[in-house]
């Protein structure tokens, strides 16, 4: 493996020696175009064969083994530019294949934003579990395996994936833990951007299972595989890759993971594996993809919003609080008493009294996860509110800017002060909420955007007083957000003006409608009277029969001449009718009151 890796690295260096490097560690052509702190430099610097290889978990112990966690690079950041490139390429391919229904701008921006938010909540860019991991390793380790041994590295490859299986299964089945993971399954689309739709605090649920390795696996080896286990699964989130044949015997594949994301009954609680699928086959949670019943993506009850914070956290509240307060159709509590409410919070999300469950590890699992899953109604109508195209383009432009600021943030976060760090997190969250409000077509989207623009302008005006001063990027950001602020203020006032006009028009329209209603009521009265007259055409004539003294009722129809005369009289009556707002006089005609 070491020989193969060295050969690939040598080949890569020979190919790119003249293109990228000039005998130093700097990328020469990038230095001629960009400064080393610019977005262009930092983005293109990562588009390398090594990072692409890393995205596929094609690594060796010799290139990734270090003696301390401080020396472990943030591999997520290194491969992140490849993720963005692959997302763009996938969109192009789907568009050329006329499969535009497999992606949407609003959904992809929401997914990528979730990935950014999840990185913001990881201290130092590392998995939150590493702190507890180091503590257990330093104080309670049972066996100290050598950190520089390839066998330790290979052992950790399998132990980390097995612990991921346990943790992944727990956040699906262990009650409110599902709320830590729901957002990842909330998309109704399945593409590379869905892979980045991560929960901000999911690591809190996975930490317990990561730390179990601390009794014998050195922390830096664990952290390396923790990174690459997550990175590898990016490739699982696509519909472009079909069956991988024999590789599917051992490894997880996009086909298997599509089942995991499906809301079909047969897809529920299946295929938890990260790198390997063998754990699912061992513990009876494996299910292959059915071509005659392809997965329909999303939650059993689809989310109808792009609100980032709501998607991140509402399920935790739903399971911890709302589920225990549910009542049946008679108004009786479904989970009466304290113990049952605890079960509602800790037992599987689909659990209700009477459900068949069994103990697995330290939580309970459903014996039949497909039980109670409603049949999917077809055709599938995905949540996609219609908004003006110019608003979509506006959100796309500002999202690209948000991405560039975030990539700078990831580069510089270790050197940021607390205030600057907090303000950038606030900017990210506010931007995501603004995009979600626009995509949901909410009335308050303009308000959020106005305050967001004001905040950015104030921040950069203050930054202009530092030693950098009026840098080109700062001038660009100030110009963009100032223009956006003026646009949204004008647009909001125009909306209020139009809304006021519509309200006045509606009020005037109501008065007009009342007048029309009187006329319509009068005409209806005429039609009713005419209908009664038609019925009166039938007369009942009683004739006595001398011998039988019976009364015989016969229908006597008006003669043709009488009929014509009757219709002529009605027409004249309607032509000479007085307006409905004048008093209505009555006269008797054939014992029926007619308006004069």
C-alpha–C-alpha distance, residues 431 and 109, integer Å? 11
Give, rounded to a whole angstrom, the gap between the first and last alpha carbons of the chain: 106
Checking if the pLDDT of 518 tops 80, the result is no
| Tens-place pLDDT, residues 124-183 | 445 568 888 999 999 999 999 999 999 999 999 999 999 999 999 999 999 999 999 999
Question: Of 5 and 266, which is predicted with more confidence?
Answer: 266
pLDDT of residue 444 exceeding 90: yes
Residue 594's beta-bridge partner residues?
A: 587
Other beta carbons less than 10 A from residue 382's beta carbon: 13
Closest by Cα among 244, 5, 225 to 129? 225
Mean pLDDT of 421-432: 95
Q: How many helices (H) and strands (E) does the chain have?
A: 21, 6
* Tokens found for residue 402: 């948000």
Backbone angles phi, psi at 294, to 5 degrees: -60, 150
Mean per-residue pLDDT of the chain: 83
Residue 379 preceded by cis peptide, ω within 30: yes
pLDDT of residue 545 exceeding 80, the answer is no
Question: Hey, is 543 helix, strand or coil?
Answer: strand
Say yes or no to pLDDT of 431 above 70.
Answer: yes
Structure tokens at 473: 């990027």
SS3 content of the chain, % helix, strand, coil (to 5): 60, 5, 30
Q: What is the DSSP letter of 72?
A: S
pLDDT single digits (tens) 10-33: 554 454 444 444 444 445 566 666
Q: What is the mean pLDDT of residues 53-62?
A: 95
Cα distance between residue 132 and residue 504, in whole Å: 64
Distance between CA atoms of residues 436 and 567, nearest Å: 65
What pLDDT, on the 0 to 100 scale, is given for residue 25? 47
For residue 33, the model assigns a pLDDT of: 65
- Contact present, 484 and 453 (Cβ < 8 Å): yes
pLDDT, residue 515, reads 44
Q: Which of 38-42, 513-517, 551-555 has the highest mean pLDDT?
A: 38-42
Q: Distance between CA atoms of 174 and 348, rounded to whole angstroms? A: 5
Average pLDDT of span 108-112: 97
Residue 245, phi-psi category: left (phi > 0), alpha (psi -120 to 50), beta (remainder)? left
Question: In this structure, what DSSP letter does residue 214 have?
Answer: G
By DSSP bridging, strand 586-589 and strand 551-556 are unpaired
**Is the separation of the CB atoms in 53 and 224 below 8 Å?**
no
Q: What pLDDT, on a 0 to 100 scale, did the predictor assign at position 202?
A: 86
Which pairs count as long-range contacts for 86-94, CB under 8 Å and 24+ apart, including other chains? 86/192, 86/234, 87/112, 87/191, 87/192, 87/193, 90/191, 90/192, 90/238, 90/240, 91/191, 93/240, 94/191, 94/240
pLDDT at 131: 87
- Cα–Cα distance between 435 and 403 in angstroms, integer? 13
Task: Decide if 182 contacts 373 (C-beta within 8 A).
Answer: no
Most confident of 85-99, 412-426, 508-522: 85-99
Judging by beta carbons within 10 Å of its beta carbon (0-12, 13-18, 19+), is residue 515 exposed, middle or buried? exposed
Flag whether pLDDT at 594 surpasses 60. Answer: no
Rounded distance between C-alpha atoms, residue 175 and residue 363, angstroms: 9
Q: Where are the alpha helices (DSSP H) in 368-414?
A: 389-412
pLDDT tens-digit map of 301-318? 999 999 999 999 999 999
pLDDT at 565: 53
Nearest CA-CA partner of 274 in 251, 244, 240: 251
- pLDDT score of 560: 46
Report pLDDT for 351: 95
**Burial environment of residue 381 by CB neighbours within 10 A (0 to 12, 13 to 18, 19 or more):** exposed
Distance from chain centroid for Cα 24: 45
Domain boundaries, the chain: 41-322, 389-505
413 confidence band (pLDDT: 50, 70, 90):
confident
Report yes or no: 273 and 280 within 8 Å, Cβ to Cβ. yes
Q: Is the pLDDT confidence value at 532 over 90?
A: no
C-alpha distances out from residue 256 to 59, 182, 272, 294, 296, Å: 23, 19, 9, 11, 14
User: Each residue of 207-257: pLDDT tens digit?
Assistant: 889 999 999 999 999 999 999 999 999 999 999 999 999 999 999 999 999
C-alpha 355/C-alpha 197 separation (Å) is 31
What is the Cα gyration radius of the chain? 36
Instruction: Give the global pTM.
Output: 0.80
Q: What is the pLDDT of residue 352?
A: 94
Residue 506 clears pLDDT 60, i.e. is over it:
yes
pLDDT of 122: 73
Split at pLDDT 50, 70, 90, the class of 412 is confident
Residues 6 or more apart whose Cβ sits within 8 Å of residue 342: none
pLDDT in the model for residue 410: 87
Distance CA(256)–CA(233), nearest Å, equals 12
pLDDT of residue 204: 82
From CA 234, how far away is CA 193, in angstroms rounded? Answer: 9
DSSP letter assigned to residue 122 = S
């Amino acid at each position: 493996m070491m020989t193969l890796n060295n050969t690939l690295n040598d080949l890569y260096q020979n190919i790119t020696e003249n293109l990228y490097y000039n005998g130093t560690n700097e990328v020469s052509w990038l230095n001629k175009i960009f400064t080393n702190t610019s977005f262009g430099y930092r983005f293109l610097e990562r588009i390398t064969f090594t990072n692409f290889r890393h995205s596929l978990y094609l690594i060796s112990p010799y290139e990734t083994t270090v003696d301390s966690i401080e020396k472990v690079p943030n591999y997520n950041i290194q491969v992140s530019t490849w993720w963005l490139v692959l997302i763009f390429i996938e969109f192009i391919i789907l568009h050329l294949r006329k499969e535009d229904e497999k992606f949407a701008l609003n959904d992809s921006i929401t997914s990528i934003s979730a990935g950014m938010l999840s990185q913001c909540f990881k201290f130092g860019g590392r998995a939150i579990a590493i702190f507890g991991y180091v503590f257990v390793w330093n104080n309670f380790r049972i066996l100290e395996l050598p950190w520089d041994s390839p066998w330790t590295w290979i052992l950790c490859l399998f132990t980390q994936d097995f612990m991921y299986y346990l943790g992944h299964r727990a956040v699906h089945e262990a009650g409110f833990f599902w709320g830590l993971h729901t957002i990842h399954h909330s998309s109704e689309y399945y593409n590379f951007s869905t892979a980045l739709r991560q929960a901000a605090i999911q690591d809190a649920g996975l930490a317990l299972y990561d730390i179990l390795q601390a009794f014998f696996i050195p922390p830096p080896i664990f952290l390396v595989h923790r990174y690459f286990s997550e990175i590898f699964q990016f490739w699982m989130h696509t519909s472009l890759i079909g069956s991988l044949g024999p590789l599917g015997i051992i490894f997880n594949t996009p086909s298997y993971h599509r089942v995991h994301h499906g809301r079909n009954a047969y897809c529920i609680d299946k295929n938890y594996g990260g790198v390997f699928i063998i754990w699912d086959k061992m513990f009876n949670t494996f299910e292959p993809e059915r071509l005659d019943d392809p997965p329909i993506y999303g939650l059993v009850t689809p989310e109808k919003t792009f609100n980032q914070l709501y998607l991140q956290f509402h399920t935790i509240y739903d399971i911890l609080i709302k589920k225990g307060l549910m009542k049946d159709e008679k108004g009786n509590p479904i989970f009466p008493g304290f113990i049952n409410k605890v079960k509602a919070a800790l037992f599987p999300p689909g659990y209700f009294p009477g459900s068949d469950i069994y103990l697995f590890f330290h939580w309970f699992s459903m014996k039949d996860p497909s039980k109670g899953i409603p049949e999917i109604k077809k055709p599938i109508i995905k949540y996609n509110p219609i908004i003006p195209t110019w608003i979509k383009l506006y959100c796309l432009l500002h999202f690209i800017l948000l991405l560039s600021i975030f990539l700078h943030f990831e580069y510089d976060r270790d050197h940021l002060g607390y205030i600057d760090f907090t303000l950038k997190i606030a900017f990210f969250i506010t931007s995501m909420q603004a995009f979600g409000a626009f995509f949901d077509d909410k009335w308050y989207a303009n308000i959020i955007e106005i305050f967001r623009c004001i905040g950015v302008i104030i921040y950069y005006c203050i930054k202009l007083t530092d030693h950098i001063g009026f840098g080109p990027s700062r001038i660009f950001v100030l110009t963009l957000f100032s223009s956006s602020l003026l646009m949204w203020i004008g647009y909001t006032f125009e909306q209020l003006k139009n809304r006021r006009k519509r309200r006045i028009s509606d009020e005037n329209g109501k008065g007009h409608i009342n007048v029309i209603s009187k006329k319509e009521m009068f005409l209806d009265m005429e039609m009713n009277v005419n209908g009664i007259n038609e019925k009166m055409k039938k007369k009942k004539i009683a004739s006595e029969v001398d011998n039988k003294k019976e009364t015989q009722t016969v229908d006597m129809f008006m003669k043709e001449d009488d009929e014509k005369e009757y219709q002529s009289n009605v027409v004249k009556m309607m032509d000479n009718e007085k307006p409905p707002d004048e008093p209505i006089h009555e006269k008797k005609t054939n014992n029926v009151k007619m308006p004069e």
